[in-house]
Amino acid sequence: MKILFSLLVVIGLSTGGYFLWKNAPAKSVEVEAPSRPTTALVESRDIDFAVSAAGDIGPADQVSVRPEINGRIEELPVDIGDKVKKGALLCRLDDRDLQIERSQRMIEIDGARLQLQKAKRNHVRSKQLFADKLISQEVFDDSKTDFDLATNAVDRADQALKLVDDKLRKTRILAPFDCTVLTRPVSLGQTVSGAAGFNSGTEVMSIANLNDMVVNAHVNQADVVRLQVGRDVQIQAESVPGTKMRGVVERVAPQAVIKNGIKGFSARIAIKEIDPRIRPGMTALLSIPVSSADNVLAVPLAAVFSERGERFVFVKNDDDTFERRPIILGVTDYAYAEVVQGLSGGEIVSLDQTVNGNQPKAPEAAGTKKSTSRTGTDEKKVAGPSTTTPAVAPANVASPSTVKAVNRSAGS
The mean pLDDT value for 68-95 works out to: 94
* Residue that is last in its domain, among 274, 290, 306: 290
In a domain, 15, yes or no: no
Given a cut of 70, whether residue 85 has pLDDT beyond it is yes
CATH of the domain at 73: 2.40.50.100
**So what's the pLDDT on residue 376?**
37
- 123 and 194 fall within a common domain: no
> Same structural domain for residues 78 and 177?
yes
Averaged pLDDT for residues 191-203: 82
Task: Using a pLDDT cut of 70, give the percent of the chain over it.
Answer: 76
Q: What is the pLDDT of residue 226?
A: 77
User: Confidence class of residue 396 from pLDDT cuts 50, 70 and 90?
Assistant: very low
- Regarding whether 325 and 306 lie in a shared domain, the answer is yes
Any domain includes 403:
yes
Q: How far apart are CA 278 and CA 271, in angstroms?
A: 11
Is residue 39 domain-resident? no
| pLDDT band for position 16 (cuts 50, 70, 90) | low
Does residue 24 have a pLDDT over 60?
A: no
- Selection from 289, 316, 176, 298 nearest residue 234 by Cα: 289
Does position 401 have pLDDT exceeding 80, yes or no? no
Task: Specify the CATH number for the domain of residue 126.
Answer: 1.10.287
363 shares a domain with 226:
no
User: Which tens digit of pLDDT belongs to each residue from 99-147?
Assistant: 999 999 999 999 999 999 999 999 999 999 989 888 899 999 999 999 9
- Residue 225: which CATH number? 2.40.30.170
Rounded to whole angstroms, how far apart are CA atoms 337 and 314? 15
Task: Please report the pLDDT score of residue 371 as a whole number.
Answer: 37
**Same domain? 202 vs 104:** no
Give the 3-state secondary structure of residue 381. Answer: strand
In a domain, 6, yes or no: no
| Strand locations in 303-392 (E) | 305-307, 310-316, 322-326, 328-332, 336-341, 348-350, 369-371, 380-382
Our count of domains for the chain comes to 4
Cα-Cα-Cα-Cα dihedral of 400, 269, 332, 302, to 10°? 10
Angle at 174 between CA 172 and CA 179, to 5 degrees: 155
User: Does residue 40 belong to any structural domain of this protein?
Assistant: no
- pLDDT at res. 370: 38
Whether 68 and 206 map to the same domain: the answer is yes
Q: How confident is the model at residue 7 (pLDDT cuts 50, 70, 90)?
A: low
- Please give the residue range of the domain that contains residue 106: 97-169
The pLDDT value recorded for residue 19 is: 60
Which residue, 290, 323, 339, sits at the end of a domain? 290
Rounded-to-integer distance, Cα 108 and Cα 157, Å? 6
Is position 277 within any domain?
Answer: yes
| Same domain as 226, residue 200 | no
- Tens of pLDDT, residue by residue over 330-384, are 887 778 888 888 888 888 888 886 665 444 444 443 333 333 333 333 333 333 3
Contacts of 42 (CB under 8 A, 6+ apart): 297, 298, 299, 339, 343, 344, 345, 346, 347, 348, 349
Q: Please report the pLDDT score of residue 20 as a whole number.
A: 62
10 Å Cβ neighbour count for 146?
A: 18
Q: What mean pLDDT comes out for the span 63-88? A: 93
Q: Answer yes or no: do 153 and 216 share one domain.
A: no
CATH number at residue 373: 2.40.420.20
* 400 and 331 belong to one structural domain: yes
Residues 305 and 387 in one domain: yes
Q: Is the dihedral of CA 6, 11, 15, 17 positive or negative?
A: positive
Render pLDDT for 224-272 as a digit per residue (tens, 0 to 9). Answer: 877 888 888 989 998 888 888 999 999 999 999 888 888 889 999 999 8
> For the residues of 120-180, what is the DSSP string, one character each?
HHHHHHHHHHHHTT-S-HHHHHHHHHHHHHHHHHHHHHHHHHHHHHHHHHHTEEE-SSSEE
391 in a domain, yes or no? yes
Do 217 and 207 lie in a common domain? Answer: no
Mean pLDDT, rounded, of the chain:
80
Helices (H) and strands (E) in the chain, counts: 3, 25
The answer to whether residue 264 sits within a structural domain is yes
- Is 280 in the same domain as 380? no
